[in-house]
Amino acid sequence: LFMLKQKLWKAIGAVSLKRQELTTRDNGTISIEWMDDPVTRSLPDDAPVLCVLHTITGSGDNSWDFLRDVPKYGWRACVFVRRGHGDNTLKNSTFNIMGDVEDTKLQVSEVQKKYPHAFLGMVGISAGSGLLITYLGKESKSSPIKAAASLCPAYDISKAFQGLADKYPVVSKHW
């Protein structure tokens, strides 16, 4: 029902996203999907930016329910879409279903270039929380992210994926 609701809202134009494709050093494809609505377009260049790290199978399209109200509070919103997710095709063998810190660094850098005077916040949703914590842990004080939150994180990833091998052996091989 949730997926049907998402498709319906997208079809009627309730949420519009503008895709910014990025090429990584190894020629991989990642993207930033920006909210593109009248409220967002009217925000000043120094409006704060909320960067969202999506769920394990997510993308910008799957995150719209979370994004749609962000501009009402004066924030610009975007989703960092990982390799192989959304419209990003896999162009090489580098893939991590949970995300890659180097890719996230590139996405953060692009946001900072686009809005150099904006306050940057970041939120990880479910599996995106793991990437958020890893990114902040590795980047520490060099990160321009000033506030962060993890929503619905899996605190014990081994328990979260306990039945993976039995139910999805092909996926489990790559975990």
Identify the pLDDT of residue 11: 62
Q: Is this structure's pTM higher than 0.85?
A: no
Lowest mean pLDDT among 2-11, 135-144, 161-170: 2-11
User: Is 33 or 85 the better-scoring residue by pLDDT?
Assistant: 33
Summarize pLDDT for 85-123 with one digit per residue, the tens: 788 787 777 777 778 899 999 999 999 999 999 999 999
Identify the pLDDT of residue 145: 97
Summarize pLDDT for 35-61 with one digit per residue, the tens: 999 999 999 999 999 999 988 777 777
CA dist 28 and 83 (Å) reads 7
Identify the pLDDT of residue 66: 81
CA dist 51 and 5 (Å) reads 23
Q: Which residues pair with 77 in a beta bridge?
A: 50
User: Is 135 or 163 the better-scoring residue by pLDDT?
Assistant: 135
Can you read off the two tokens belonging to residue 52?
């969202």
Residue 12 has pLDDT above 60, yes or no: no
pLDDT bracket for residue 83 (50, 70, 90): confident
The SS3 of residue 160 is helix
CA dist 8 and 3 (Å) reads 9
Nearby residues of 173 by Cβ (< 8 Å), 6 or more positions away: none
Can you read off the two tokens belonging to residue 162?
């306990």
Sheet with 120-125: strands ordered across: 17-23, 29-35, 76-81, 49-53, 120-125, 145-151
Do residues 131 and 102 touch, judged by C-beta distance below 8 A?
no
CA dist 80 and 51 (Å) reads 7
The Cα angle at residue 93 between residues 89 and 99, in degrees rounded to 5: 70
Summarize pLDDT for 141-173 with one digit per residue, the tens: 899 999 999 988 765 656 656 666 677 666 555
CA dist 169 and 59 (Å) reads 24
Can you read off the two tokens belonging to residue 120?
């940057």
Pairing outcome for strands 29-35 and 49-53: unpaired
